[in-house]
Structure 1
Amino acid sequence: MYKDDYKKLKTVINQLKVKYNFKGLYHFTDFKNLKSIIETGCLKSRAECQNSEIDFLDAANEDVIEHTKRDIKKCVRFYYKEKPPTLYKNEGIKVDNAKPHIPLPVYLLFDYELILLENTVFASCNAASAYVNFGKNFDFFKTMDWDKIFHRGSLHIEDTPLKREIISKRHAELLGLQDISLNYLNKIFFRSKADYKRAINLFGKNDKLEVDASLFNCNNNYIEDYTLEIHKQTHKTIDINLEFNRRNYKNYTHRIIIKDLEPGNIVYDKRIKFTNGTGLKRHGKIKNLPNEQLRFEYYMNDILSVEKTI
């Protein structure tokens, strides 16, 4: 059901699309959470996930969440634009896995229609902020500080009241008061080809899956792309080609696990040590594997980063 003034809201949405390149509502999560999201067919709030005992990687800062009001935790939360500042330090696989940590970030882009729904609320800045204002109608929505909400570009400037205000407003949110159906989902954006390939391996090809690194900060390290070349003779050989985001991969742990599909017994398990090279690409080979279908897994700092049936 739509809000009573949904037609007026549509006019503001159209203005945002033209002036700020507004694409829709962004929900930011980790790749680990995709399976449960897709299986349930909807986005659930943090509180509902906990009540339903859904295992999920929490992308939020624990100190912030601890002081967030219970009513906000019951909401499904969206941003109006990509790269909200709070995510800058969280993306990518950290050398020490320090929290808050979003090793394999993913954006779920939802349709503008969420703005029109009766069960959504507008927050003028971060919904957990002491300075936030909430509203549901056209009069509130049209007066939100859109210039600051859609501010793009670097904030590496002197700390001033204006900078703090921009950071706060860039965290403006849309809150869903109930589960949000994936019927409103338009795109799932990945930062790397490796994550995109993994999604296809797990969920099948879908026009909604897309790579767009420009939406991400691309901080820290991760596997940007990979190829696995399979050679079958008496035994199976795999040529492994990896491309990293940064050259400091020596500072991370690396592990390859290969399992048979049924019942999942491990047939190969080895930790790899790299020396930092001048390039981002590394090559390896595994020989004498069983000549049957296997599950290949590559872990970087114990974060599952490549997952493929070979």
Structure 2
Amino acid sequence: MPLLVYQPRNYDQTHEREEFRNLCVQLKNRYYSSSDEMCILIGNYNIGDVELDALIIKDDGIVLVEFKDYGGNIIASENGDWTSEEGGQYSVIRGGAGRKNPYSQAKINRSSCKPVLVETQAFDPGQVERMVSLIVFHRSATIDNRISPRIKWLRLCDERSFIDELDLIVSPGCDLQKDDYKRIIERLALNKGWLCVRYSNVEVLEEEDNDVDSVADSINENEQNNNTLNMPTKHDWQDFKKVLDKYGITKLYHFTDRDNLESIIQNGGLYSWVDCDQKGISIPKPGGGALSRQLDSRDNLGSYVRVSFTQNHPMMYVAMNDGRISNPVILEIDPKVIYEDGSLFSDRNATKNGANIGSTFEDFNKIHFSSVKASSHFDLDADEQEFYQAEILVKNFIPLKYITNIANFGIPIGQSAIQLQAKEPYTAQISRNNPTAFIFMVDHSCSMEAMTTLNGERMTLAEAVARIVNNQINELVLRCIKTNEVRHYYDIAAIGYGHDVYSAWNGELSGRDFVSPEELKEHPYKKIITREEVRTRKGTTVKEIEKVQWLEANTQLDSCA
């Protein structure tokens, strides 16, 4: 079993594409004709909250790969900036967004990936315990590696020495066999459509599944048997497919917030907001606001899940600017939902005046497909921009199996995700007449003096927990603010514990147990400025954000002596 190369999506930067291609060529030369060694390369892959340049899985090791577009004389250390001198030009080598150096970036990524790889059941803890990070410089480099030799998990090389360095990497406890690779491919949800056939021994997969010669054959066979959906299919679905093939449309998209993913998985897929209300499904961070719901209700569209043809949807940035979502993710939807008998098609935002909405092939064909394929609506003439937001409206529900990248976010998925059938919620309704309570138990023991990293900033565990709890309290308060009043939906208590147990509130609320959202709004303890990574149209940037605090980091120092 030699080489399989997967690439879920293309890279944004030219140097990343070049480096990935160069590594593919080297790995093909190394593994392609091997009969007793196996290697999987996954490019531009998300593991949990980490976006990896590449992940390599070989018989005796798991390797996280980071691409750096540098060469020349490179100085690398644990602390301080990494530098490159190339042709008389000096550069600082950054570790992603913010001010991290590549060592810190690699350390954070490795720590974040390890538990997720275990949770997916792709690997056991022993196999990932000594997982290695490899930083590969794009151009020829002389590397002055000043990192402590005690740090065995990080290695550096340039493209010339990539294979030699990879062969030196051995992770004790990792001895992968043929059956292990089958499990890994399944648990990491490595889609056959991501295979780079040019570099892969695809016959390996064909041996495992003799009924499938290729991804295209598999799809065609299913369609011919009319098994593309577990729901009524349009009689002329093949006409729709011809249009999709003509324009090379293989995915649809739906944006949401990362905080919503667990609910989507637990409930078996994406429900419309009306169905969520009926089934008692809470949406932690809804993408649509009150106005969009009013417009949906006006046009009888509330029972539809809306998906688009673009990953760069303008309404995603509106939702971010409005604060409805803060950590957007793009769900990739199988376009076979178009064939569902109840699906509608709109040539622009469906609630826009003048939108053409209908369920027929003629309605579908009115979509401006050349416009929806643009990189951004800014690339279009002003009178064409509204057609960039053409939509597919799927009736009621999109099952989890049609969200093709749902396994890429590090949230475990059971063999059959739970799909709610009852319309009665499991929890009691929360209202002013039937309020509830939230209790935050905050660890103030001396163990909280240990250091950690939150949003790229080093701090104690106590400080990190305080910020997280304050953010959650602020979210609860904001949910109670309606027009000019603060509604009493619940009371909130914060309890600190260590050597003693006591109220964790600070300032004017000090010593209190339960307090109301209105009291919290009126009596904040203080405000602080934090640095957070924020996604914008141009990518990820670090911004300073003012945060309200009601409790602060605290450890009972006398109990730590």
- TM-score tier by shorter-chain length is 0.5 to 0.7
Report the 3-state secondary structure (helix = DSSP H, G, I; strand = E; otherwise coil) of the residue aligned with 1:170.
helix
Query: Given that residues 238 and 286 in structure 1 are in contact (C-alpha distance below 8 angstroms), is that contact kept between their aligned partners in structure 2?
Result: no
Gaps of 5+ in 2: 1-231, 415-445, 458-465, 471-493, 499-503, 507-525, 533-540, 544-552
Query: Given that residues 237 and 287 in structure 1 are in contact (C-alpha distance below 8 angstroms), is that contact kept between their aligned partners in structure 2?
Result: yes
1:107-146 alignment to 2 at 5 Å?
A: 107-146=330-369
**Could you list the per-position Cα deviations for residues 262-310 of structure 1 after superposition, in whole angstroms to 9, with x for gaps in the alignment?**
xx97558799945779x969xxx99889xxxxxxxxxxxxxxxxxxxxx
Query: Given that residues 61 and 100 in structure 1 are in contact (C-alpha distance below 8 angstroms), is that contact kept between their aligned partners in structure 2?
Result: no
- TM-fit CA distance, 1:182: 0.9
d(CA) in 2 for partners of 1:23 and 1:116?
A: 14
Supply the AA of the counterpart residue of 2:278.
N
- TM-fit CA distance, 1:46: 1.1
Report the 3-state secondary structure (helix = DSSP H, G, I; strand = E; otherwise coil) of the residue aligned with 2:300.
helix
- TM-fit CA distance, 1:113: 0.8
- TM-fit CA distance, 1:43: 1.3
Distance 1:243 1:257, change over 3 A: closer
Query: Given that residues 60 and 100 in structure 1 are in contact (C-alpha distance below 8 angstroms), is that contact kept between their aligned partners in structure 2?
Result: no
TM-score, length basis structure 2? 0.34
Query: Which position in structure 1 is the counterpart of 2:382?
Result: 163
1:1-310 alignment to 2 at 5 Å?
A: 1-17=232-248, 22-56=249-283, 57-68=285-296, 69-91=298-320, 99=322, 101-153=324-376, 155=378, 162-166=381-385, 168-188=386-406, 196=409, 200=410, 203-204=411-412, 235=447, 238-243=450-455, 255-257=467-469, 267=497, 273=528
Query: Given that residues 308 and 390 in structure 2 are in contact (C-alpha distance below 8 angstroms), is that contact kept between their aligned partners in structure 1?
Result: yes
**Could you list the per-position Cα deviations for residues 176-209 of structure 1 after superposition, in whole angstroms to 9, with x for gaps in the alignment?**
113221121101498xxxxx5xxx3xx3389xxx
Consecutive aligned runs of 4 or more in structure 1 exceeding 6 Å deviation: 268-272, 285-289
Supply the AA of the counterpart residue of 1:185.
I
Query: Given that residues 79 and 172 in structure 1 are in contact (C-alpha distance below 8 angstroms), is that contact kept between their aligned partners in structure 2?
Result: yes
Distance 1:42 1:205, change over 3 A: closer
Task: Flag the structure with larger Rg.
Answer: 2
Query: Given that residues 26 and 79 in structure 1 are in contact (C-alpha distance below 8 angstroms), is that contact kept between their aligned partners in structure 2?
Result: yes
Supply the AA of the counterpart residue of 2:397.
D
d(CA) in 2 for partners of 1:163 and 1:65?
A: 27
d(CA) in 2 for partners of 1:51 and 1:272?
A: 39
Report the 3-state secondary structure (helix = DSSP H, G, I; strand = E; otherwise coil) of the residue aligned with 2:307.
strand
Distance 1:25 1:65, change over 3 A: same
Higher helix fraction: Structure 1 or Structure 2?
A: 2
Distance 1:103 1:267, change over 3 A: farther
Alignment RMSD: 3.9
Identity of aligned residues (%): 23
**Could you list the per-position Cα deviations for residues 129-162 of structure 1 after superposition, in whole angstroms to 9, with x for gaps in the alignment?**
12111233333323421122222236299xxxx4
Supply the AA of the counterpart residue of 1:103.
S
d(CA) in 2 for partners of 1:140 and 1:275?
A: 49
Query: Given that residues 343 and 394 in structure 2 are in contact (C-alpha distance below 8 angstroms), is that contact kept between their aligned partners in structure 1?
Result: yes
d(CA) in 2 for partners of 1:183 and 1:205?
A: 11
- TM-fit CA distance, 1:11: 1.3
Question: How many residues in Structure 1 have an aligned counterpart in Structure 2?
Answer: 221
Supply the AA of the counterpart residue of 2:319.
N
Distance 1:276 1:44, change over 3 A: closer
Query: Given that residues 30 and 102 in structure 1 are in contact (C-alpha distance below 8 angstroms), is that contact kept between their aligned partners in structure 2?
Result: yes
TM-score, length basis structure 1? 0.59
- TM-fit CA distance, 1:86: 2.1
Distance 1:179 1:286, change over 3 A: same
d(CA) in 2 for partners of 1:4 and 1:34?
A: 33
Distance 1:275 1:149, change over 3 A: closer
Report the 3-state secondary structure (helix = DSSP H, G, I; strand = E; otherwise coil) of the residue aligned with 1:90.
helix
Distance 1:163 1:273, change over 3 A: same
Query: Given that residues 253 and 308 in structure 2 are in contact (C-alpha distance below 8 angstroms), is that contact kept between their aligned partners in structure 1?
Result: yes
Report the 3-state secondary structure (helix = DSSP H, G, I; strand = E; otherwise coil) of the residue aligned with 2:262.
helix
Q: Which has the higher contact order (CA 8 A, sep 6+)?
A: 1
Gaps of 5+ in 1: 191-195, 207-233, 246-253, 259-263, 290-310
**Could you list the per-position Cα deviations for residues 23-48 of structure 1 after superposition, in whole angstroms to 9, with x for gaps in the alignment?**
41212112222222111102111111
Higher strand fraction: Structure 1 or Structure 2?
A: 1
- TM-fit CA distance, 1:240: 1.5
- TM-fit CA distance, 1:90: 2.9
d(CA) in 1 for partners of 2:266 and 2:332?
A: 18
Distance 1:16 1:288, change over 3 A: farther
Distance 1:9 1:67, change over 3 A: closer
